[in-house]
Amino acid sequence: MAAGVSELDERVWDERGVKVIAPHRRGRKRKAPQDGREPRRYERYWKVERYFAWLRFFRRLVTRYEVKAENFLGFLHLACALILMRQF
């Protein structure tokens, strides 16, 4: 059980099908039970975090100058397209 997580939270997660993908800490005092976590999903987690970090380079998105949601979404799509174009 993670710090600050109650048994009620875990039961709600089980009912809704939420999967915990973070690995156990290495320096734990108590041994972690083998609960069948999927490390493959966690290995791809950094790619999502990196993408959000790249979005922070676009000042217009970070400060949210746009009042209308449609305009903000348009600039978000533009930023995503520019990021993808830089990759290829």
Residue 1 placed within a domain:
no
Helix/strand/coil percentages in the chain, nearest 5:
55, 0, 45
User: How many domains are contained in the chain?
Assistant: 1
Residue 21 placed within a domain:
no
> Which residues have C-beta within 8 Å of that of residue 10, sequence separation ≥ 6?
1
In the chain, the N- to C-terminal Cα span, in Å, equals 42
pLDDT in tens, the chain (88 residues): 455 566 767 777 778 877 766 666 677 677 666 555 566 666 777 888 888 999 999 998 888 888 999 999 999 999 999 999 998 8
Residue 31 placed within a domain:
no
pLDDT confidence of residue 74: 95
